[in-house]
Structure 1
Amino acid sequence: MYEIFRQYLDTKIKLTADESLKIQECAIIKKVRKHQYLLQEGDVWKYDAFISKGCLRTYAIDERGDEHVIGLGIENWWIGDRESLLSGNPSKFNIDAVEDSELVLFAHQNFEKLCMDIPAFGNMVNQILQRSFIASQNRIQAALSYSAEEKYRSFLEKYSVFATRIPQNMIASYLGISPETLSRVRKSVSKKH
């Protein structure tokens, strides 16, 4: 599992053997079975987490018991609850495995030290956070201004890999539309192709 993360790092940055070893020594390997929680609402999130295998989702449950998928993650993506991590407050979210998954976790204090001690690693993390922020802005803009069909088309353009890996009800929740609306939109989109 760690080997996948090391290969990921090799595609992003140049590390000395000593730097690579420092990172590996801080890594915690975690396996999560399908439907198993990585984080439950009310717990404090304490890690920076890289997905080396599998698919996970971040979601909230409203007062009616409806799930709202906030985020999705697959191989070579990072996942977690940034607000809980930085504030120390209990999380409002759940993170669970959509598929059997394997992760490389870093206790946040160790992760921050790695970012300080290894400038290339810190720069890589900063770039990831910037891209994540931009993706969040784009998602908010789409949620506020796109039609259901535009949301689905945009989802397929950006995240087509999820269309075959997660159930349709989770896609609908991620898009902020009902499963029935998603079914209608999918039929309409397939007719146009």
Structure 2
Amino acid sequence: MKQNLFQTSVEPLLDYFNHFIPLNAGEKQFVMDLFKPRLYRKRQYVLQEGDICTQFNFVVRGCLRMYKIDEKGNTHIIQFTSENWWLMDIGSFHGKAPSELNIDALEDTMVFQVSYENLIELYTKAPKFNLIFRVLIENSFVSLQKRLLQNISSTAEERYLSFIQNYSHLTNRLPQVQIAAFIGISPEFLSRLRSKQVRAKS
């Protein structure tokens, strides 16, 4: 019975991989053997600053955030990750170095995790995944590069509109303070931006 439940719960991950390249039965079994399910409760840490990131996380349901707290206690959110997205501190994961970032759950969140060692094993047993993860990392790099350029060249309103476009599925799930920290503005200024958008639509 437990095995059937596991097979059912891993389907979103298998569907994700199949979207890139169809998997055969053996490759699906590798995924089921090497990826481990994990439930994080709301506010529970997935990674804390100073620890080494040992897992690459695929979100089945829920929402994670990756962030940095500066010396003044301000929170700078780098990324939100929800259903069918991935999250890790790539430098810590591949370099086995202490992380400068935190990852926690903004909702009760179910993930499938793969360790560095198991990921390498997956590449060796099924080279198809080497291509899948290369594309995945490249897409992630492009997204972070766009976000960096946006942060240094766009207005607060432009960043807010971009957030609505890219994270439309999260706008009603995230507290205003979290969205403001991601955009890099105060919650009060975000409230004014939202009011402006409402007036513009009316």
Aligned counterpart for 1:7 among listed residues 15, 22, 26: 15
Where does structure 2 lack aligned partners over 5 or more consecutive residues?
1-8
Question: What is the match of residue 34 of structure 1?
Answer: 42
Q: Helix, strand or coil for the counterpart of 1:51? A: strand
1:155 aligns with 2:163: yes
Shift of 1:29: 0.9
TM-score by length of 2: 0.91
1:53 paired residue among 51, 61, 67: 61
Q: 2 CA distance for matches of 1:47 and 1:115?
A: 16
Give the TM-score normalised by the residue count of structure 1: 0.96
> Residue 170 of structure 1 aligns with which residue?
178
Q: Output one character per residue of 1:40-64: Cα deviation in whole Å (capped at 9) or x when no partner.
A: 1111001111111110101111112
Structure 1 residue corresponding to 2:24, chosen from 4, 9, 16: 16
Query: Given that residues 45 and 85 in structure 1 are in contact (C-alpha distance below 8 angstroms), is that contact kept between their aligned partners in structure 2?
Result: yes
Does structure 2 retain, via aligned residues, the 8 Å contact 1:114–1:121? yes
* Residue identity opposite 2:155 in structure 1: S
| Deviation of 1:120 (Å) | 2.1
Secondary structure class of the residue paired with 2:92: helix
User: Structure 1 residue 86: deviation in Å?
Assistant: 1.4
Q: Which moved more, 1:140-149 or 1:4-13?
A: 4-13
Q: Deviations over 1:107-129 (max 9, x none)?
A: 11111221233222211111111
| 1:103-118 equivalent positions in 2, closer than 5 A | 103-118=111-126
Distance 1:54 1:47 in 2: 17
Displaced runs of 4 or more, over 4 A: none
Pair 1:143 & 2:151 matched: yes
Q: What secondary structure is seen at the aligned counterpart in 2 of 1:14?
A: coil
For 1:78, the equivalent position in structure 2 comes to 86
Q: For residues 81 and 183 of structure 2, what CA distance do their matches in structure 1 show?
A: 15
Q: Which deviates the most, 134-143 or 179-188?
A: 179-188
- Distance in 1 between residues matched to 2:46 and 2:200, nearest whole Å: 39
Return the match for 1:65 from 64, 67, 73: 73
Query: Tell me, what secondary structure is at the counterpart of 1:156?
Result: helix
C-alpha separation in 2, matches of 1:18 and 1:151: 44
Does 1:180 pair with 2:170? Answer: no
CA contact (8 A) 1:148 1:181 kept: no
| RMSD of Structure 2 on Structure 1 (CA) | 1.2
**Helix, strand or coil for the counterpart of 2:67?**
strand
SS at match of 1:128: helix
2:46 & 2:84 partners in 1: Cα distance? Answer: 17
Amino acid across the alignment from 2:50:
G
